[in-house]
Structure 1
Amino acid sequence: MTATMRSLSRGTVARYATGSIGTGGFATLPGLVLVFYLTDTLGVGALAAGAVITAAKVWDVLIDPVIGRASDRALAARGSRRGLMVIGALALPVFFVATFAVPAGLPPAASALWVFVAFLATATAFSLFQVPYIALPAEIGRGYDDRTRLLTWRVVVLSVAILAFGAGGPMLRDLGGDEYGGYLTMGLVAGVVIAAGLLVASTTAPRGVVVPPDADTPRVRDAYRAGIAALRRSQSFRALLGAFLLQGLATGLMLAGANYVAVWVLKDDAALTFLFVALIGPAILGAPVWGVIARRIGKERAFVIASALFAVACLLLVGLLWSPGGWVYAPVALAGVAYAGMQSLPMAMLPDVIAVDAAENGDGQAGIFGGVWTAGETTGMALGATLLTIVLAVTGYTASVAGEVSVQSSEAVTGIALAFSLIPALLVVTSIAVMNRYRLRRADIEGADAAPVGVGGADDA
């Protein structure tokens, strides 16, 4: 019996969703504070800060398909993906703390190198967990609606985690005394909580899974080739990944820019917490609603509607250029409602794509799909932070070390506002155009789930 026939219990849904405490924390805190930490505490220039984060993420993108291959090999050899997940969960907090443990007084160049090495190790540990974690819904979910349910509740927990880390992280930083001690305290507490969430989720990886003897688990040198092959043969995978990557770029840009918006546009450090409450509160309530909508009109249509709603909200935020103020929380809340759908629906569609591919081409490729997906997601989020640093550099943003008082030009403040509004809107509109090439519908998925492996299913290439 394969894993796709296992019963999807409430306990499995809950434990799988708990992993989003860790994934949400890791996605939120570095995305929110790492660029700001580099430019406004360590004195690293904007472009150099972007180069540090981008270089670390490029490594992450390169390693993800290899980890996907290793995950598939582990499944074939030992009947479970759990081992890599546990290793990643245990290693991550050590390197996460190190990322925010730069000693005071270190020159900016040395500080940048420290953060690069530590963050690269942290991202690698996270990928050891994340790649197999992404592959699990195709194995533990029994069908179209079960996968929607599994990923809907994951996004509910993800939204709570983003709120907790997004609001609580800066609060811990501020309670830690000086800026260096504050970031270290934040990194220590967050690292432990992230690890706990990842370890709980690793228990959902099935044991004793029987993989067909002809399942393709490529060698290391073929891992990239297998990922490219998955992209080439599945048009729907290309469309879904392309849309998700562009949206990751948009949300990564906004996440990295939120601290700058609070400090330099709204001129209120506390506004960062309120921005996150306004965004994530509606997202927590919205995720189950998007699940209901998806069951009625299809995931792909619901995803497009959520994306369009997010783009509208971003366009409304352009008003920050002329009148920054408390009104900003209303469009941010609208974006939060949309964000819930933009997260839960594509992640629920990915296992559908994997199921169709398994029906057509044989089982054993979920890890490859998960590796390519994680690489794409990582690329989007990383380049979002990079794009922000480019905007900051072009508009003349001035970096500073802890304790210095800096003044920003009107051009720099305008750049921050546009990076939080117009640019994300354009990226999301582009993602909707890409998503129009997604061809799978409910009937295709249900046919693939019912078909013997390697037989039937919709032709998606």
Structure 2
Amino acid sequence: MQTNPVPTAHVPPGTRWGYAAGSLATGAFTTVPGLLMLPYLTDTMAVPAGAAGLIVLVPKIWDVVFNPVAGRISDGELLARGSRARGLLLGGTLLAVLFGTLFAGPQLGSPGAGAAYVTGVFFLTATAFAFFQVPFNALPAELTADYHERTRLTSTRIALLALAVLLSGALAPLVVEALGGAAGYRLMGVLVAVLMLTGVLSVYFGIRNRPFAPTGQAPRLRELVAALRGWRVFRRLLVVFVLQAMGIGVLLASVNYVARYVLGDPGLQSVLFAGFVGPALVIMPLWARMGRSRGKVAGFQISSLMFGGALAILVFAETMPLALIFALIAVCGAGYAGVQTFPLAILPDLISAEEQRTGETKTGVAAGVWTAAETLGFALGPGIFGLVLSIGGYRSTTESLTAQPPSAVTAVLFGFSLLPAALILAPVPLLRRRVLEGR
């Protein structure tokens, strides 16, 4: 087994920012399919809303099975080579290339054939994402052993994640609207792929010479299942994160439809996104400071309440002044920054404590399970929203805008407010400082 020196507590700026830039890839992949794939299928390819939701979901179900395996492969690379960098680079490059083809499907002459192409390519893209995201999530626990340095590392990552979400989520719809139809989606896919590749190369060159400290032997799959079954604190944090990821996924999927059918202006989609993500960039340092002064769990609780509470009020968006809607969106964005920062800052602490207790390498395994759950949560969001649209009687079309029955508009509004609010707020009682922080 190849070993490297134990990393120091302080992470150099080049390593910290290089690592954080990987969020350009993860943020774009999480955001763009969740934001645009459902309308791409329903309003460009005329795929029924319920079926479109399943198309977004099915490839991610594969990740639930595969991501823990990717975690074990990543652990094996770490133990053999002393670094996860090579696997991260290969997986990330393949991710970018495949994503560039996801929205560039050939004209196959029927919604069914087009849907089959999207499903197949999305399946391969999700697999490549696992090989990038799993080692990427494993890095904080191996770059530093310092409790507060991990919060700093994670907050930098989430700041760039917010930037990636802003760039991809706000600009991608503008590209689609500018060209219109399939041509707009094709160009958008290529541009987002370039953004992803930039993030992949940044994290690779940022961490490739950084010392890592593999410990013990990676457990086999049966040992993994047994270990996670007994790792109660990890399961609790995972449940909270997955439910909130579902809520964010539902919210992302609804934005395109809210702009068109509730607010009556498709151009507001990018403005809504900027209003959501912009405050996240501004408030990120404040969440990091709160994590140091009041604790990560307290910050997690407060940010969840902010996010969910503001979403619940938006159920009245159809009759609200536009200025008030954007004010509430800004509060949502501030809360979103916290619910993304704190679980990822808590996770490395749980991993380190478990590795000290068992003497086994759990980082890649935990990252694989976490990535699988995260991917599934974000995938379930659009799937659930597609089901809500179907129940509301949404009419799919090959046109960008068509008249919808009142029940469909009500379904859009429900998926924009009350449903994601419930998913954000429901797991808050599971957060207990004495459990998650061991205090």
TM-score normalised by L of structure 2:
0.95
* Matching of residue 217 in structure 1 with residue 218 in structure 2: yes
Instruction: State the distance in 2 between where 1:96 and 1:324 align.
Output: 38
Structure 2 residue aligned with 1:29:
32
Q: Structure 2 vs 1, CA of residues 206 and 300 (structure 1 numbering), >3 Å: closer, same or farther?
A: farther
Structure 2 residue aligned with 1:339:
336
The question of whether the paired residues in 2 share the 8 Å contact of 1:265 and 1:324 is answered with no
Q: Structure 2 vs 1, CA of residues 289 and 207 (structure 1 numbering), >3 Å: closer, same or farther?
A: closer
Structure 1 residue aligned with 2:254:
257
Structure 2 residue aligned with 1:296:
293
**Post-superposition offset of 1:437:** 7.9
Instruction: State the distance in 2 between where 1:60 and 1:360 align.
Output: 28
Structure 2 residue aligned with 1:452:
none
Structure 2 residue aligned with 1:54:
57
Instruction: State the distance in 2 between where 1:3 and 1:190 align.
Output: 36
1:283 partner amino acid: A
Instruction: State the distance in 2 between where 1:379 and 1:338 align.
Output: 22
* Matching of residue 244 in structure 1 with residue 241 in structure 2: yes
Secondary structure of the corresponding residue to residue 217 of structure 1: coil
1:130-180, Cα deviation, whole Å (9 max, x unpaired)? 0010000000023110000000011111111111111111112223x3411
1:189 partner amino acid: L
Structure 2 residue aligned with 1:457:
none
The question of whether the paired residues in 2 share the 8 Å contact of 1:136 and 1:205 is answered with no
1:190 is aligned, of 189, 192, 205, to 192
Q: Structure 2 vs 1, CA of residues 438 and 233 (structure 1 numbering), >3 Å: closer, same or farther?
A: farther
Instruction: State the distance in 2 between where 1:3 and 1:400 align.
Output: 57
Instruction: State the distance in 2 between where 1:229 and 1:407 align.
Output: 53
Instruction: State the distance in 1 between where 2:409 and 2:260 align.
Output: 10
2:97 is aligned, of 94, 98, 115, to 94
Instruction: State the distance in 2 between where 1:105 and 1:85 align.
Output: 34
Structure 1 residue aligned with 2:368:
371
* Matching of residue 130 in structure 1 with residue 127 in structure 2: no
The question of whether the paired residues in 1 share the 8 Å contact of 2:91 and 2:132 is answered with yes
Instruction: State the distance in 1 between where 2:184 and 2:311 align.
Output: 32
The question of whether the paired residues in 1 share the 8 Å contact of 2:259 and 2:269 is answered with yes
The question of whether the paired residues in 2 share the 8 Å contact of 1:21 and 1:161 is answered with yes
Instruction: State the distance in 1 between where 2:243 and 2:432 align.
Output: 14
Q: Structure 2 vs 1, CA of residues 99 and 64 (structure 1 numbering), >3 Å: closer, same or farther?
A: same
Q: Structure 2 vs 1, CA of residues 259 and 178 (structure 1 numbering), >3 Å: closer, same or farther?
A: closer
Matches within 5 A, 1:97-246: 97-104=100-107, 106-175=109-178, 177-203=179-205, 204-205=207-208, 209-212=212-215, 215-219=216-220, 222=221, 225-246=222-243
Structure 1 residue aligned with 2:355:
358
The question of whether the paired residues in 2 share the 8 Å contact of 1:24 and 1:162 is answered with yes
* Matching of residue 380 in structure 1 with residue 381 in structure 2: no
Instruction: State the distance in 2 between where 1:398 and 1:34 align.
Output: 16
1:83-116, Cα deviation, whole Å (9 max, x unpaired)? 2111112111221122101223620000110000
1:202 partner amino acid: Y
The question of whether the paired residues in 1 share the 8 Å contact of 2:263 and 2:318 is answered with no
1:71 partner amino acid: S
The question of whether the paired residues in 2 share the 8 Å contact of 1:226 and 1:368 is answered with no
Instruction: State the distance in 2 between where 1:208 and 1:142 align.
Output: 12
1:193 partner amino acid: L
Q: Structure 2 vs 1, CA of residues 288 and 159 (structure 1 numbering), >3 Å: closer, same or farther?
A: same
CA RMSD between the two structures:
1.7
**Post-superposition offset of 1:210:** 5.0
2:181 partner amino acid: E
Q: Structure 2 vs 1, CA of residues 430 and 169 (structure 1 numbering), >3 Å: closer, same or farther?
A: same
2:136 partner amino acid: Y
Structure 1 residue aligned with 2:67:
64
Unaligned runs of 5+ in 1: 445-461
Unaligned runs of 5+ in 2: none
User: Across the two proteins, how many residue pairs are aligned to each other?
Assistant: 435
The question of whether the paired residues in 2 share the 8 Å contact of 1:76 and 1:210 is answered with no
1:190 partner amino acid: V
Secondary structure of the corresponding residue to residue 106 of structure 2: coil
TM-score normalised by L of structure 1:
0.91
